[in-house]
Structure 1
Amino acid sequence: MKLPIRYLLSDAEKDALLTEQAALIERMAARIAELEASVGKPKKTSSNSHIPPSKDGPGRENRKPQLPRKQRPSRPGVSRPLTETPDKTERRMADICPHCGTATPEAGQRCRHRYDHIDLPPIRPVVTRVELFGGRCGCGKRYRAEAPAGMEPGTPFGPGIRSLLLYLHHSHHVGFERLSRMLQELFGLAISEGAIANAFRQSQAGLDQARAAIKAKLLTARIIASDETTTRVDGVTQ
């Protein structure tokens, strides 16, 4: 605020200047009182008040690192137990002492450490060529051998593949496109979405039997604990 030369001011101008200065002094006194009241109090941040983190500003203090969680009493800190029936055992004998380089005979060695290594082998579909032989009987009729059980003609995909498709589709809600891609990427099996739909149709009889058994069990139960659902099947709300 630039002060004018007082002896050049009239009495009215001096009164106006005094009024303006009094108002300024009042505002400054209120601001000083506000600052003095805030001395010693922490600045409001998102960690100690309800203001959002975006209001903390660039100079906000980093939050305290989270302390490691205490272990639950029901979860003892133990490693995975060894399986009782390993598929194979790999025994490795030491050749030399790592400390001095001396050759170590196998006779004096015993197992110092034991653990399980678990992995999945490469899984590839097994392709079985089915050849049905036959001929012509003396009666003049042609005959042919029966197909092996589970390998009937009509679809090249056996019950193992069909059950996997049904499980992934109905239990984990994997769509046809992803099913086709999963079998190609995981097992190297090329199967189209139409073939998947055909496999589902061929499994319908087994599903109908299971559904009938479940329904019969529900109808004879004393108590049925079920919740309402909005799931729609074939356009009907279940």
Structure 2
Amino acid sequence: MSAGPRPSYDELAALVVVQAEQIAVLRARVAELERRLGLDSHNSSKPPSSDGLGKPAPRSQRRAAGRRAGKQPGAPGAALTQVDEPDAVVDHRPVACAGCGEVLAGVAPVGFEARQVFDLPPMRLAVTEHRLWRCACACGTHTTAAAPVGVDAPAQYGPSIAALTVYLLVGHHTPVDRTAQILADLFGAAPSAGWIAGLTGRAATRLTGFTQRLRQVLRTAAVVHFDETGLRVAGRLRWLHVACTPLGTFYHLDDKRGRDAIDVIGVLTALGAGQTAVHDGFKSYLHPAYDTAGHALCNAHHLRELDGWAEHDPAHTWAGTLAGLLREGKHQVNQAVAAGRDRLDQTVLTDLLHRWDQAVQAGYAANPPPTSGGRGKILALIDRMHGFRREIWRFAHTFTVPFDNNQAERDIRMVKIQQKISGGWRTPHGAQHWLTVRSYVSTVRKNGLHVLTALRDALTGNAWLPPQPE
């Protein structure tokens, strides 16, 4: 049997070219898979919980500041100090002279040394009985006095223990059964699980005015942070959205992640000229409908991505250069703020941006577009570094805009902790109630107020409200 015609030189050359292209594609795929295997929470946007048993040693994105650990010189101390009016005074007199041994009974003291002990008083529930007296009128009618507001049953728990219960449930993510155990251990109380579980909804229904006022405050803030994450509610994925500032936290639960949910919240839609939205670059935040406000992208995300590419392949020196420039820019801003300035020297800023553009072009040169089409992750990253330069470097133009979106990430982390402990919420209604109370607790704490007092006020119908925006 004949072997058939032999391929020509041109056919063999074409086959070699095809195979070389296939090998290049396979090598690129292998490199990408190896890169993904090396990703963790320190060099990507993956959460720390995804690191698993191979969790790397903690490594901060911060660099050495040249300061020793602990309290810095000149910083105020936090030592326990004596009070002028102690709750109780116990006198101790010497029995005999330390010199000659003479009995000192009846000798007038010449001075004293005060030592104060700060401790908890005996903890027990105080029971207040409200007696609703009846009076008989000459007309024969018996009239009973009205009960104070909130005193509705022959025996009930008061607003202070209710506030503590909500504080444990929402402020410290304590499950219902453990909350009941804590109350029993501390006070000998035995509230039912139903009473405990119902308090969050009771508090949330009395925070309508707070929620409305908080929205107004956020809409007028100069800088607002935004973020979103998935939550398990009623057995399926829903989306938690947060809009926040250093003085306020607003949570919203929605079935959608994108524009529909953002519009329902109504904060980003209300921002205008002179205001800035800080976020991680999720495309819905960058829709033209929200262009009236300025935007700033989270550079903590960028540092993780750039460090990841620089560590993956020594050829990606451009990524390390970009990460270094961001850190240098942050350092320059911090120094300028410490010196009392409100802007960078123009020559410093121009130099940083010039070197940034050079590093971006080096990234493009090292990563030409693939012949097979598509941009891929690395070119998408370089495109972002090029196309969103203004949003990335806004912190260096306007010092009131932070370097990162850590404010929103810190506020979201508290809800993720609740999900880790409880595994999710059984109903969207219950989840939103929890989030409403968590918004209140977070905002109260940010404003330096006493959380338990604020929760007690909320449960008695007098919730604290953020100051009215001017």
C-alpha contact (below 8 Å) 2:183/2:189 kept by paired residues: yes
Amino acid at match of 1:159: P
Task: Using the TM superposition, give the Cα deviation of residue 140 of structure 1 relative to its aligned residue in structure 2, in angstroms.
Answer: 8.8
Aligned in 2, Cα 1:209/1:108: closer, same or farther, shift over 3 Å?
closer
Matched residue of 2:212: which SS?
helix
Deviation at 1:223, TM superposition (A): 2.2
- When normalised by structure 1's length, the TM-score is 0.57
CA change 1:71–1:143 in 2 (3 A) is closer
1:147 deviates by 0.9
CA 1:216–1:108 in structure 2 vs 1: closer, same or farther (change >3 Å)?
Answer: closer
**Contact 1:94–1:106 (Cα < 8 Å) also in 2:** no
Q: Which has the higher helix share?
A: 2
Task: Find the counterpart in structure 1 of residue 211 from structure 2.
Answer: 211
1:46 maps to none
Alignment correspondent of 1:237: 239
Conserved? CA contact 2:228–2:239, under 8 Å? no
CA 1:102–1:76 in structure 2 vs 1: closer, same or farther (change >3 Å)?
farther
Matched residue, 2:197: 197
Per-residue Cα deviation, 1:38-58 (whole angstroms, up to 9, x for no partner) = xxxxxxxxxxxxxxxxxxxxx
Deviation at 1:72, TM superposition (A): 4.9
Q: How far, CA to CA, are the matches of 2:178 and 2:188 in structure 1?
A: 14
Residue-by-residue CA offset, 1:60-89 (whole Å, 9 max, x unaligned): xxxxxxxxx997554799963222332233
Secondary structure of the corresponding residue to residue 225 of structure 2: coil
What TM-score does the superposition give when structure 2 sets the normalisation length?
0.31
Change (3 A) 1:211 1:102: same
1:145–1:220: structure 2 CA closer, same or farther, 3 Å change rule? same
Task: Give the whole-Å Cα distance in 2 for the aligned partners of 1:207 and 1:154.
Answer: 27
> Does the aligned pair in 2 maintain the 1:168–1:174 contact within 8 Å?
yes
Deviates more, 1:69-78 or 1:144-153: 69-78
Is 178-187 or 210-219 further displaced after alignment? 210-219
Q: How far apart, CA to CA, are the structure 2 residues paired with 1:155 and 1:108?
A: 52
Return the offset for 1:189: 0.9
How far off its partner does 1:196 sit? 0.8
Query: Residues 123 and 187 of structure 1 are in contact (CA less than 8 Å); yes or no, is this contact kept in structure 2?
Result: yes
Q: Flag the 1:224–1:119 CA change in 2: closer, same or farther, 3 A.
A: same
- Alignment CA distance shift 1:136-1:212 (3 Å): farther
Are 2:122 and 1:122 aligned?
Answer: yes
Q: Counterparts of 1:215 and 1:102 in 2: how far apart (Å)?
A: 74
Partner residue in 1 for 2:443: none
- What is the CA distance between 1:203 and its match in structure 2? 2.5
Structure 1 gaps of 5+ residues are 1-68
Residue-by-residue CA offset, 1:63-121 (whole Å, 9 max, x unaligned) = xxxxxx9975547999632223322332322121245432125325322x322111111
AA in 1 matched with 2:239: T
Change (3 A) 1:142 1:83: closer
Which residue pairs with 2:179 in the alignment?
179
Name the residue aligned to 2:146.
146
Query: Which residue is 1:226 aligned to?
Result: 226
Residue of structure 1 equivalent to 2:161? 161
Kindly tell me: are residues 88 and 147 of structure 1, through their superposed partners in 2, closer, same or farther at Cα, counting changes over 3 Å?
same
2:82 is aligned to 82
Structure with larger RCO (C-alpha < 8 A, sep 6+): 2
User: Are residues 178 and 232 of structure 1, via their aligned partners in 2, closer, same or farther at CA, if it must alter by over 3 Å?
Assistant: same
- CA, structure 1 residues 227+160, in 2 after alignment: closer, same or farther (shift >3 Å)? same
Aligned length in residues: 169
Structure 1 CA distance for aligned equivalents of residues 78 and 173 of structure 2: 35
- Equivalent residue letter for 2:199: A
**Cα RMSD, aligned residues only:** 3.4
Query: What secondary structure sits across from 2:152 in the alignment?
Result: coil
Q: How does 1:34-73 map to 2 (within 5 A)?
A: 72-73=71-72
For structure 2, the residue ranges without an aligned partner over 5 or more in a row are 1-67, 241-470
Shift of 1:153: 3.3
What is the rounded CA distance, in whole Å, between the counterparts of 1:78 and 1:99 in structure 2? Answer: 39
1:196–1:84 Cα change, 3 Å: same
